[in-house]
Chains A and B, each alone.
Chain A
Amino acid sequence: MHKCEIEFGKMKWKNPVTVASGTFGLEYADLFDLSQLGALTTKTITPLPKEGNEPQRIVETEAGLLNSIGLQNPGLDEFIRTDLPQYRKFHTNLIVSVSASSIKEFINMIEKLNVQSGVDAYEINVSCPNVENEGIAFGTDPEVVFELTSQLRKATEKTLIIKLTPNVTLITDIAVQAERAGADGLAMINTLYGMAVEVRTKRPKLHSIIGGYSGPAIKPIALQNVYKVAQAVSIPILAMGGITNSDDALEFIIAGASAVAVGTYNFVNPLCTLEIIKGIEDYCVRNDMKYQDLIGSIQTKG
């Protein structure tokens, strides 16, 4: 059996599969041993508790899911007190996803987390479309991404992953600035802006009117973003966006991703990550190739 081990920043992954932030948590520990994943990624944590947006927060549309959760989370201190000890029980990498409303707040969070054991990496969520004054505002300006990443680079030696939004004109510009400022990797893509209207009442289906769109419908969009960015940077990409099975995951890996994350599809099949790990391993065996050689192996000429 080929083991698809990878290095992602300073982490060693036993396989290249994790979960997308906000779609999978300790709640699933009842179902299977979460240590089987290459990494665990937490829900995005903010400095203070966040109650989230007014409901209605989710709407299913054709092959996708609109959400406007608004980063509901218990805040950093409560996360460290309650959730982190639970996450430590699993023998895999832990990526803590964080968001804040200023560079100073981001640094404070990282400094608090640096001294905690069991945290392997930070996913810097500068791409959530569902909160004001934080999230996506950071992630749409290449200069801001450069400044934030530079400051966070000085604040930690742990693996630093910048999560990018597709809701920009030139995603490669932002990716290049993150790399230039010292990011160890990129996570992409966060959700796309989306909307749904109830025809009978003429009202938006989400309370916040516009939300983030995810699920199988966005896979081609995510894939071209990953492909473009992989051409422009040399740091590893953690790809996500509509992955439902190992073929979906392999598309992203061939297009240039080093690892993949499953988001919305966890809600459909909470065991799909395990099926994807096996599917990627089987593919490497069938084709007698090392996982490392599969990354970015896309054939665009001839």
Chain B
Amino acid sequence: MHFKKLPVLKIEHINKDYFVLGVRDKELTQKIKPGHFFQVKDPASRIPLLPRPFSVYKVDNDELEFLVKIIGEATMKLSHLSTGQDIQLLGPLGNGFPLVSGKKVLLASGGIGFAPMPFLEHKLKEAGNEVHFYHGGRSSNDVFCDSVENCTDDGTFGHTGFVTEYVEKYLDSTHIDIVYACGPEPMMKTLTIMCSKRDIPIYVSMERVMACGVGACCGCVIKIKENDSIVYKKVCNDGPVFYGAEVVWDA
């Protein structure tokens, strides 16, 4: 884990809701695993106070990118940064996705849950896995790449309907060894139920409001089934990736 202030290398606006933020740092990129995140903040801005957790979107040699959705004041301020201005980063943080090799793998994401997937896909393919990737969004505005199976609620891009419908059809027609998911909780819950019925392991990347990002404050806990009891686990450093069947959904 490192705490750094780095000049912004790239700010690329995808549309009114999303942008890509890039920095260059060899020390960081060497340590990043798929599913890791960073606590990111505009150091010049005192309000909002806390940094925001962003999954690592892409790693290319010494360059590191985040896909960010503009949700509130913090992300809006970050979107207004220019190249050369400093951003503050703490990371890499979290456990990351457990990787496999030589398997048939399915990735499923929804909305900004797309963020950790391209780097995960790259590493899985590098390890000799066969990867199928489904992504869902409300509209074409929430689609980031046309080389995956895209689904939109309003049919403005790719298949019409929820990503879960298309994943289910795919699981019924094709053997899959493992599923990785990131997106809205109802989506990940549905996928977990689907996978449980078919005895397919699924790993989900959870999201919670965080303060420290390192496990010190215990602010971001979720309920996890452990042995015969239910315990609190910290999304920031016990996760953000959890085994889907162990998550207490709707808690």
Contact = CB atoms under 8 A, between A and B. Distances in A.
B208 A55 contact: yes
Interface in B1-44: 1-3, 41
B160 interface: no
Given A23-B217, A58-B217, A67-B217, A51 B232 contact: yes
A74 B31 CA distance: 30
B49 A64 contact: yes
Interface string A107-135: 00000000000000000000000000000
Contact of A267 (B1, B212, B222): B212
Contacts, number: 91
B231 A216 contact: no
Interface range for A: 20 to 34
Contacts of A67: 211, 217, 219
A90 to B, nearest CB: 15
Nearest to A51: B232
Name the prevailing secondary structure of the A interface residues.
Answer: loop
A43 B212 CA distance: 14
Nearest to B209: A58
A57 interface: yes
Given A63-B49, A216-B46, A268-B41, A27 B218 contact: no
B47 interface: yes
A31 interface: yes
Interface in A47-80: 51-52, 55-60, 62-65, 67, 69, 72
A264 interface: yes
Interface of A: 22-25, 27-28, 30-31, 43, 51-52, 55-60, 62-65, 67, 69, 72, 215-216, 264, 266-271
Interface of B: 1-3, 41, 46-51, 88, 90, 208-222, 231-232, 237, 251
